[in-house]
Amino acid sequence: MANELNQLLFRIRDGLATTVEVQRAHTLVMIDERLPVGLRQAIDFREDAVGDAVGLLAVLGADSLFGEVLREGIAADLAEVDEHTLEASNRDELLLEEVWPLAEAFVAAVRQEAGTIEMAAAVLDVLGLESPQLPVAEAVYDEAGVVEIAVDWHVDIEQAWVSAMVDGELPPEARHAAIRKLREDPAAGAEMTVFATLGSDLRAAVQDEAGETPYLWSGVAEGIGVDAEAVAGWDGALFAAAVRAQAGEIQLADEVMAQVVTPLPSMVEEPPPLPQPANSRRWGGLLMALAAAAVLMVALPTTWNQNTTGTAAPVAQASAQFASAGEIVVEALEHGDNSTVHQIMGDQGAVILWIDEGEAQ
Amino acid sequence: MSRILWMLLGMLWVCTPALAQSRGPHVQQVKASPTQADITPAAGRVGVEIRVVHANNSGQVDPKLKDVVDNLSFLRFSGFALLDTHHVKLGPGQKATFGLVGGSKLTVTLVSRDARAAKMRVLMTSSKGVLMDTTVNIHRNRAFMVAGPNHEGGKLVLPLAVRY
């Protein structure tokens, strides 16, 4: 059912769902216990079915909020900001989050997406960003060869302020100017999306340009003058020598094997000899047969004449063949004031009338 | 040898009353457990079987509920227990009421029937009032489910089967 609901929500989000599909999605939402009860009751796909679908997909973790919808939301939010509000307020206190509530979450998401990638100095210079100190970068660069990535990225140098704003690196005055410019140029939102995927794009571009890279650490280690197998603070030879000095010369093999290899217990044991009967067995068989016959004569009639009273034994339940949608018609369906009823289908197609009492008792 | 004869006579003396009882003319009619044939009634009446199933998180599934469990995996309950089973034969216009767990009641009415399908009215109530009142037209020898009422941290599931 979870997959079906997700698929329906995607169709609603994309404007491809029929009325029946929207109703089906509403039904599935009503009984989906992954969702809070209040949310289930609030979602009705009437006023803003697309918005409801987008929100549900985000809550269910099936889709992120980034992309076209977010950009449109950002533009819509910024369009509501009053120009005078920006100028009259204290610049030191006006934060991007006051005009764009999603900014903090967006910046965090961008940073998470960009990862800890180490960017070549040349690329960083082009973007006007501070180049970090990367002792390994040169070795990697030499190994990967010349990489032409600036052009493939379609990065516009004039849009460097967008990247800086996403990273929170603009001073307050510049930030206000950036906000005004963003309002004037909604297309800049698309650039912000580009930078949100900057990290993954960079990695893909480097790999496309340089090809599959072999194991680099050995070359890098040699380039920076360290042992590729070395671990800081660890000397295996010293450790072994210290153990030998402490333990001395020990021949463990024989003593250890003597403890480990123990004789397995025999699986077959000779049983103790059976005692021979002391009594005569001449008439034993006849007497046993007569005794068995006597027991049967007494026990069987008692069983046959047993009068069963009380509740009957439960009937062996035969599996029910559940009606499919074409074999049952719900002609009337009503519910009480404290409940709702939905007609849904089980995983094997059985028709289920689902009663929703709301909060669990 | 005489001792053996005395033993045989003693056994026969003990067994004779039981033998006479089993062959006498006053044998009590044995009430057998209801079989599937008993709830498949004669022409005109419809047999209704209602199972009361508790979907819970016990992790134990009654093997007899496989047909139910196969349709309810979306509920994400790990256990299904059969609490009770009700059988009734209804003629047109007749109804039967069953007490369920937690004070709920289920009333089933046979509205009408023909060779192909039966029209059933199902009314479920609780201490809070009416939960559901529905009329369905269901194919003969088919079943459907009423489910969803809360019960002890889980849900009640009521498969209803119509047989005739």
Q: What is the per-residue pLDDT across B113-152, written as a single tens digit (0 to 9) for each?
A: 989 999 999 999 988 889 999 999 999 999 999 998 888 8
Compute the distance between CA of residue B59 and CA of residue A312 in angstroms, rounded to an integer.
29
Average pLDDT (A228-255) is 71
**According to the model, what pLDDT value does residue A154 have?**
40
The confidence score (pLDDT) of residue B76 equals 81
Q: How close B162 comes to chain A (CA, Å)?
A: 9
- A351-356/B95-99 β-pairing: unpaired
pLDDT of res. B24:
45
In the predicted structure, residue A97 carries a pLDDT above the cut 60? no
Q: How far is CA A279 from CA A54, A290, B3, B6, in A?
A: 91, 19, 17, 21
Digit-coded pLDDT (tens) for A46-85 = 888 998 998 888 888 777 555 555 555 555 655 555 554 5
Question: Which residues from chain B sit within 8 angstroms of residue A1, using beta carbons?
Answer: 74
Element (H, E) at A223: helix A217-224
Q: Is the alpha carbon torsion for A151, A154, A155, A157 positive or negative?
A: positive
- The mean pLDDT value for A129-150 works out to 48
Shortest Cα distance from B7 to chain A (angstroms)?
Answer: 9
Q: Which of residues 89-108 of B touch A (CB under 8 A)?
A: 102
Tokens for A66?
């980034």
More confident of the two residues B148 and A313: B148
Strands B142-151 and A351-356: parallel
Residue ranges, chain B, pLDDT below 70: 1-2, 4, 10-43
pLDDT band at A217 (very low <50, low <70, confident <90, very high): confident
**Partner B contacted by A308 (CB < 8 A):** yes
The pLDDT, as a whole number, for residue A35 is 84
Q: For residues A345 and A28, give the distance between their C-alpha atoms in angstroms, rounded to a whole number.
A: 10
Taking an 8 Å cut-off on Cβ atoms, the answer to whether B144 and A350 are in contact is yes
Do A320 and B143 lie within an 8 Å CB cutoff? yes
What is the predicted pLDDT for the residue at B80?
A: 92
Q: Averaged over A31-45, what is the pLDDT? A: 84
Identify the pLDDT of residue B48: 94
Helix, strand, coil percentages (3-state) for chain A, rounded to 5, are 55, 5, 40
> In terms of DSSP bridges, do strands B117-126 and B105-113 run parallel, antiparallel, or are they unpaired?
antiparallel
**Residue of B145, B152, B163 to mutate, testing the A interface (most A Cβ within 10 Å of its Cβ):** B145
Q: Which residues contact A237 (CB under 8 A, 6 or more apart)?
A: none
Cα–Cα nearest to B162, from B128, B100, B112, B102: B112
Residue A314's pLDDT band (cuts 50, 70, 90): very low
Q: Select from B15, B49, B151 the Cβ nearest to the Cβ of A297.
A: B15
Residue A304 has pLDDT above 70, yes or no: no
Tell the burial category of B120 from Cβ atoms under 10 Å away from its Cβ (0-12, 13-18, 19+).
Answer: buried
Contact A323 B85 (CB under 8 A): no
Residue B105: CA count within 13 A, CB half-sphere: 10
| Interface contact A315-B36, CB threshold 8 A | yes
A245–B contact, CB cutoff 8 A: no
How many degrees, rounded to 5, is the angle at CA A41 between CA A35 and CA A47? 110
Structure tokens, B75: 């509920």
Instruction: Give me the mean pLDDT over the A238-247 stretch.
Output: 77
B5 touches chain A (CB under 8 A): no
Pairwise CA distance, residues B4 & A111, whole Å: 102
Note the pLDDT tens digit of each residue in A251-260.
Answer: 656 767 777 6
DSSP H/E element including A242: helix A236-247
Give the C-alpha separation, A65 to A196, whole Å: 12
Q: Please write the tens of the pLDDT for every residue from A267-301.
A: 566 777 777 766 666 676 778 878 888 777 776 65
Closest residue to A331, CB basis, from B68, B137, B139? B137
Q: Do A346 and B31 count as a contact with CB atoms less than 8 A apart?
A: no
Take residue A160 and report the two structure tokens written for it: 């460097």
A317 touches chain B (CB under 8 A): yes
Does A339 touch chain B if contact means CB atoms closer than 8 Å?
yes
Contact indicator for B85, B159 with CB cutoff of 8 Å: no
Residue A1 contacts B, CB cutoff 8 Å: yes
Residue A317 pLDDT greater than 50, yes or no? no
Partner B, chain A 33-62, Cβ-Cβ below 8 Å: 33
Does residue A359 register a pLDDT over 60? no
